[in-house]
Amino acid sequence: MEEKILGALPNVSLKKGLFKSILYNLVITNKRMIFARFRKELIKEEAKKRAEKLEEEGRGKVRQFFAKLGTGFTFYKRYFDMDPEEILKETEGNFFITPSNVGKIRLKKGSVSRDEDGDVEYENPHTLFITTTSGEKLKLMLRGDFNSIRNLLSQLFGRF
């Protein structure tokens, strides 16, 4: 069966200790979860490409500026046009987990605190706990719609 990208979860923090975490974009396929390391160099390169493309199209400096500014928020979308193996090789530190490598997995819903006007004051992200069959424990902090995240992960892991 051919490997297909089902979705992506941007800006996911993988906890690596009390105060340290590493930022990844998670790419979910029908076979595995790919951890694509979020690197500043890649973002800068992508921002430069976007600005150059807009300049070639005759777009103004303001539009180029905003295109560069938004790169970090939309960078993960590029993975939909890439082969999973290409994603893994993109940068050092990328890795993957398959369902057969997962002993236990749990998704805990985060919370949002709002002020009287309904504006977000504080957001406590969702947490994905994974224990691999080798005993490694991963703690991932995710943002976004909880049900969408759960549905995407269920397509790969089949449980939640």
The total number of structural domains in the chain stands at 1
φ, ψ for residue 39 (rounded to 5)? Answer: -115, 135
In a domain, 70, yes or no: no
φ, ψ for residue 59 (rounded to 5)? Answer: -80, 155
- Residue 94 reports pLDDT greater than 90: yes
| Cα–Cα dist 130/100, whole Å | 12
Task: Yes or no: say if 143 and 11 are a contact pair by the CB < 8 Å rule.
Answer: yes
Full-model pTM: 0.76
- Quick: pLDDT tens for 132-155: 999 999 999 998 889 999 999 999
In a domain, 54, yes or no: no
- Residue 109 reports pLDDT greater than 80: yes
In a domain, 117, yes or no: yes
Task: Yes or no: say if 23 and 38 are a contact pair by the CB < 8 Å rule.
Answer: yes
As a whole number, mean pLDDT of residues 104-108 equals: 96
In a domain, 100, yes or no: yes
In a domain, 60, yes or no: no
In a domain, 61, yes or no: no
For residue 44, the model assigns a pLDDT of 66
In a domain, 59, yes or no: no
For residue 115, the model assigns a pLDDT of 80
Q: Residue 10 maps to which CATH number?
A: 2.30.29.30
Nearest one of 128, 135, 149 to 13, comparing CA atoms:
128
Per the model's pLDDT, the better-predicted residue between 76 and 88 turns out to be 88
Dihedral, CA of residue 56, residue 60, residue 65 and residue 71, to nearest 10: -40
* Tokens at 61, concatenated: 């400096």
As a whole number, mean pLDDT of residues 71-94 equals: 83
Per the model's pLDDT, the better-predicted residue between 94 and 160 turns out to be 94
- Quick: pLDDT tens for 6-53: 999 988 999 988 888 888 999 999 999 999 987 777 666 765 666 666
Task: Yes or no: say if 79 and 8 are a contact pair by the CB < 8 Å rule.
Answer: yes
Q: How far is CA 82 from CA 45, 77, 86, 92, 149, in A?
A: 17, 10, 6, 17, 21
Mean pLDDT score of the chain: 84
Find the domain containing 26 and state its range.
5-44+75-157
